[in-house]
Chain A
Amino acid sequence: MNKVGIRLFLAAFAACLFSFSAIAEEGEELTGVTAKVVTTDDGRLTQEGSVLEDGKWILPDDSPTFSITKKPTYKVDWYTYNGYRRYHDACHVCHGPDAEGSTYAPRLADSLKTMSYDDFIAVVSGGREVKRPGGGISVMPAFGDNKNVMCYVDDLYVYLKARAVEALPRGKLSGRMREKKPEEARVYDKECYGE
């Protein structure tokens, strides 16, 4: 198993245990929820404590995050962009363009403010049903066996995180504003789709 594969495996494993790991304690390492948005010395927007590992930005708790260059031109890292486009493939028909929510599904740009990485993986892979006040049921389907989603669940998370912490304003991102697709990403595509 390569490193990405291991990370995915660990994420899925963590997801099984998410209900036990959700409580943060004093002095604990920075997570996707607790790490603040910072501008680095080289002018990038990212979350506090992120480091580059195999072309991806990772927080101390091993959850992924985004990296956005604002100057000279606005550019997001490939994985944030890939999350954006995969989001608009599988998620936006319910959750709205730019994670803005719709008449019947929550605004993920809000949800990801407080939702942990592990919870996110658990809900995406396992789905859930929510009873709405005043009757009616909202259903999030389980995407666990959908490669189009699960292969890129980290990218979806990173994109939504950037939206949630307002590092990425709505309507801002387009195909012109991304880093080139790295070779690692091409190799990963093939591995994950099993080609």
Chain B
Amino acid sequence: MRKSALIGALLATVVAAPAMANSDVAKLTADPNNWAMQTGDYFNHRYSKLDQINKGNVGSLKVAWSFSTGVLRGHEGSPLVIGDVMYLHTPFPNLVYALDLNNEGKILWKYSPKQDPSVIPVMCCDTVNRGLAYAEGIIILNQADTNVVALDAKTGKELWKATNGDPKKGETHTGTTLIVKNNVLVGMSGAEFGVRCHVTSYDLKTGKRLWRAYSMGPDSEILVDPKKTTNLGKPVGKDSSLKTWTGDQWKIGGGSSWGWFSYDADLNLFYYGTGNPSTWNPVQRAGPDGKPIDQLYTMTIFARNPDTGMAKWVYQMTPFDEWDYDGINEMILADIDVKGKKRKALVHFDRNGLAYTMDRATGELLVAEKYDPAVNWTTGVEFDKSSPRYGRPYVVAKYSTFQNGEDVNSQGICPAALGSKDQQPAAFSPKTGIFYVPTNHVCMDYEPFKVSYTAGQPYVGATLAMFPAPNSHGGTGNFIAWDAGKGKIVWSKPEKFSVWSGALATAGDVVFYGTLEGYLKAVDPANGKELFKHKTPSGIIGNVMTYSHKGKQYVGIFSGVGGWAGIGLAAGLTDPSAGLGAVGNYAGLSEYTALGGVLTVFSLP
């Protein structure tokens, strides 16, 4: 089985790719022995057909081997396994290792990029990297300093390098890339630095820039067709983005694009979400009339053609953001039953606390429901198609940081700015039809104030204090199962800390995730019952992956605490409204874990 997969991989590098997907990536991800993409497959399912490790035996998992990356900061993403080789990445300085699985993980090659350390402080929220991409014998590394580097997967030799931005302006890379046909799709971080973010395509073979689509600006730069691109079924019209900004503010508009991309080959569309408008102070972003204005296309789900970059449809979840509810979280493509009808759906768990189910072909809004009962900033989304407010959320005045104004502390807003879920990707099991979602259970006080823009400097304009959701279990996380057709929580498992690790579902009826204290956990998809846990060397913000080698299934996870979780949680959170007495059971994460990047690989004895 392994042999045939390897031959398949070799063949694919020779045979010309047909029009769909990237045939090599499609083939490699179809073979469950590999973990060929960060997200498992083009649909972002994070599901594996491997079933050697199953509900009955997962309790006896043991550490098979482990590997120190030599880097201390937050380790997001996961390794890739293609055939007999594992490829690992690290946070800044973004080392890459190729390990020989046939030879006890011996290092085949190591790539150490030279990067200017001045990029470190312009990376909001730690120097994370969400991992490598692979196609046709090429490894794509998305470096912090915005260089996109293609490496020969066999030797680690640099094939080409493309510079996507300027860290001196606050432009940095943290995301992974998606390879569709000959396009390497690259996002951008920097909404906290007033960067006008974009998605750019580079040619897989040459590194030549093919197209770039900004998140905001003139139609020709954001690649929307006024007549053909639709928003909730209607053409967006001319200057649809420019009209929603005051003056030149769109030029420092934010709308970062560092989340996990997904792709549907049948529709030839790829999907991603955009982040917050800069600044976090909504008062400075008000319209010319002093009223809220949408700031398109921040906080937006995009469906684009990967060949041209042209947008097919858009949907903005949080118009005129007042809380930093970025829309960057992953879009999961699943064919599921929605309100009694089979749909080609897109499911998205937004930072704003609503889980959206959409028709991914047309962009029709099907479901928008709270996936954490603590969410209070909105009473929900308007579903009446005849209403001028169709598709827009209703904001609760008390929690509107805009209505309360500059220099006013708006209190008890749920969720906090890191959202009911952040980048930590959910898993979907086609076997159960259910989504398994790592979530945050955190609320905040938020106070916007005036800031001025300086290139390459933080452009935030708000302060916030975070605390566990009140009147709940006291922890800051839940791991939940979600029915996206109904918009309902199936079960919810409380966690002491935010679950900042990507989940994995398998055909063995097991769901895996990591915790900030450092546990790798396995639970029963039917009810969330814990079947296995093992404490790894550091807190987990990486994503669980699985592969099989020489007939044996392995489960791998990065530990290495950091990321925004490392900022917000390493020092512990306290509840300012509870005073000092009530925080005894809410000690800091630093009492549980310390830094260190390690890959731990598990198997059955």
Q: Give A residues with C-beta under 8 Å from B.
A: 84-90, 92-94, 96-98, 100-104, 107, 129, 134, 136-141, 143, 145-149, 169-176, 181, 189, 193
B434-472 CB mask vs A (1 if < 8 Å, else 0) is 000000000001010111101001111111111000000
| In contact, A129 and B117 (Cβ under 8 angstroms) | yes
Q: Does any Cβ of A come within 8 Å of B125's Cβ?
A: yes
| Chain B interface SS verdict (over half) | loop
| In contact, B574 and A170 (Cβ under 8 angstroms) | yes
Q: Given A101-B571, A104-B73, A148-B452, are A175 and B408 neighbors across the interface (CB < 8 Å)?
A: yes
Q: Which residues of B contact A107 (CB under 8 A)?
A: 571
- Docked Cα-Cα span, A59 to B451, in Å, equals 29
Quote the shortest CB–CB distance from B275 to chain A (angstroms): 15
Quote the shortest CB–CB distance from A178 to chain B (angstroms): 9
B336-355 CB mask vs A (1 if < 8 Å, else 0) is 00000000000000000000
Q: Which of B228-236, B391-399, B562-570 binds A?
A: B562-570
Q: Which residues of B contact A88 (CB under 8 A)?
A: 463-465
Q: Given A139-B118, A141-B118, are A174 and B460 neighbors across the interface (CB < 8 Å)?
A: no
B577-588 CB mask vs A (1 if < 8 Å, else 0) is 101100100001
| In contact, B458 and A90 (Cβ under 8 angstroms) | yes
Closest 4 CB pairs of A and B: A175-B409, A171-B574, A100-B571, A88-B463
- Docked Cα-Cα span, A88 to B562, in Å, equals 18
Q: Does any Cβ of A come within 8 Å of B407's Cβ?
A: yes
Q: Given A139-B120, A139-B121, A174-B576, are A89 and B571 neighbors across the interface (CB < 8 Å)?
A: no
| In contact, A175 and B445 (Cβ under 8 angstroms) | yes
B167-196 CB mask vs A (1 if < 8 Å, else 0) is 000000000000000000000000010000
**Given A89-B460, A103-B570, A104-B126: 17 more A-B contacts, CB < 8 Å:** A88-B465, A98-B571, A100-B588, A102-B566, A104-B73, A129-B117, A134-B72, A141-B121, A147-B454, A148-B454, A148-B458, A148-B459, A169-B580, A171-B574, A171-B580, A172-B576, A172-B579
| In contact, A174 and B451 (Cβ under 8 angstroms) | no
- Docked Cα-Cα span, A119 to B110, in Å, equals 41
Contact among B74, B409, B463, B580 for A103, CB-based, below 8 A: B74
Quote the shortest CB–CB distance from B95 to chain A (angstroms): 12
Q: Does any Cβ of A come within 8 Å of B595's Cβ?
A: yes
Q: Considering the complex, give the chain A residue whose CB is closest to the CB of B116.
A: A139
**Could you tell me how many residues of chain B have their Cβ less than 8 Å away from some Cβ of chain A?**
53
Q: Which residues of A contact B462 (CB under 8 A)?
A: 89
Q: Given A89-B458, A89-B461, are A100 and B572 neighbors across the interface (CB < 8 Å)?
A: yes
| In contact, B568 and A175 (Cβ under 8 angstroms) | no
Quote the shortest CB–CB distance from B52 to chain A (angstroms): 35
Quote the shortest CB–CB distance from B153 to chain A (angstroms): 27
Q: Give B residues with C-beta under 8 Å from A.
A: 71-74, 117-118, 120-122, 124-127, 192, 407-409, 411, 445, 447, 449-452, 454, 457-466, 561-562, 566-568, 570-577, 579-580, 583, 588, 595
| In contact, B571 and A96 (Cβ under 8 angstroms) | yes
| In contact, A174 and B407 (Cβ under 8 angstroms) | no
Q: Given A88-B463, A139-B117, A141-B118, are A103 and B449 neighbors across the interface (CB < 8 Å)?
A: no
| In contact, B574 and A90 (Cβ under 8 angstroms) | no
Q: Considering the complex, give the chain B residue whose CB is closest to the CB of A178.
A: B409
| In contact, B458 and A193 (Cβ under 8 angstroms) | no
Residue among B73, B126, B576 facing the most chain A CB atoms (10 A cut-off): B576
Q: Which residues of B contact A140 (CB under 8 A)?
A: 121
Q: Which residues of A contact B449 (CB under 8 A)?
A: 85-86, 89
| In contact, A174 and B411 (Cβ under 8 angstroms) | yes
| In contact, A97 and B573 (Cβ under 8 angstroms) | yes
- Docked Cα-Cα span, A139 to B580, in Å, equals 33
Quote the shortest CB–CB distance from A85 to chain B (angstroms): 4
Q: Considering the complex, give the chain B residue whose CB is closest to the CB of A129.
A: B117
- Docked Cα-Cα span, A149 to B125, in Å, equals 18
Q: Which residues of A contact B576 (CB under 8 A)?
A: 171-174
| In contact, B568 and A136 (Cβ under 8 angstroms) | no
Q: Which residues of A contact B71 (CB under 8 A)?
A: 136
Q: Which residues of A contact B445 (CB under 8 A)?
A: 174-175
Contact among A86, A104, A146, A181 for B566, CB-based, below 8 A: A104
| In contact, B575 and A85 (Cβ under 8 angstroms) | no
Q: Considering the complex, give the chain B residue whose CB is closest to the CB of A171.
A: B574
- Docked Cα-Cα span, A94 to B118, in Å, equals 14
| In contact, A143 and B452 (Cβ under 8 angstroms) | no
| In contact, B118 and A103 (Cβ under 8 angstroms) | no
Q: Which residues of A contact B72 (CB under 8 A)?
A: 103-104, 134, 136
Identify 19 residue pairs between A and B in the complex whose beta-carbon atoms are under 8 Å apart, listed by A's number. A86-B463, A89-B462, A90-B457, A97-B465, A97-B466, A97-B571, A98-B574, A100-B572, A107-B571, A139-B118, A141-B121, A146-B454, A146-B458, A148-B461, A149-B457, A171-B575, A172-B579, A175-B408, A175-B447
| In contact, B117 and A175 (Cβ under 8 angstroms) | no
Q: Given A139-B118, A145-B454, A172-B576, are A84 and B126 neighbors across the interface (CB < 8 Å)?
A: no
Quote the shortest CB–CB distance from A156 to chain B (angstroms): 12
Q: Which residues of B contact A169 (CB under 8 A)?
A: 580
Contact among B460, B466, B570 for A90, CB-based, below 8 A: B460
Q: Considering the complex, give the chain B residue whose CB is closest to the CB of A148.
A: B451
Contact among B408, B457, B465, B588 for A146, CB-based, below 8 A: B457
| In contact, A92 and B567 (Cβ under 8 angstroms) | yes
Q: Which residues of A contact B466 (CB under 8 A)?
A: 97
| In contact, B447 and A137 (Cβ under 8 angstroms) | no
Q: Considering the complex, give the chain B residue whose CB is closest to the CB of A84.
A: B463
- Docked Cα-Cα span, A51 to B71, in Å, equals 48
Q: Considering the complex, give the chain A residue whose CB is closest to the CB of B583.
A: A171
- Docked Cα-Cα span, A181 to B524, in Å, equals 54
Q: Which residues of B contact A149 (CB under 8 A)?
A: 457
Q: Which residues of A contact B561 (CB under 8 A)?
A: 103
Q: Considering the complex, give the chain A residue whose CB is closest to the CB of B460.
A: A89
Q: Given A89-B451, A172-B580, are A102 and B118 neighbors across the interface (CB < 8 Å)?
A: no
- Docked Cα-Cα span, A140 to B460, in Å, equals 18
Q: Considering the complex, give the chain A residue whose CB is closest to the CB of B586.
A: A171
| In contact, A97 and B457 (Cβ under 8 angstroms) | no
- Docked Cα-Cα span, A130 to B489, in Å, equals 47
Residue among B445, B466, B572 facing the most chain A CB atoms (10 A cut-off): B572
Q: Which residues of A contact B566 (CB under 8 A)?
A: 102-104
Q: Which residues of B contact A102 (CB under 8 A)?
A: 126, 566-567, 570-571
Q: Which residues of A contact B577 (CB under 8 A)?
A: 174
Q: Which residues of B contact A138 (CB under 8 A)?
A: 120
Q: Which residues of B contact A98 (CB under 8 A)?
A: 571, 574
| In contact, A93 and B452 (Cβ under 8 angstroms) | no
- Docked Cα-Cα span, A139 to B73, in Å, equals 14
Q: Which residues of B contact A90 (CB under 8 A)?
A: 457-458, 460
Q: Considering the complex, give the chain A residue whose CB is closest to the CB of B464.
A: A88
Residue among A85, A143, A171, A189 facing the most chain B CB atoms (10 A cut-off): A171
Q: Considering the complex, give the chain B residue whose CB is closest to the CB of A96.
A: B571
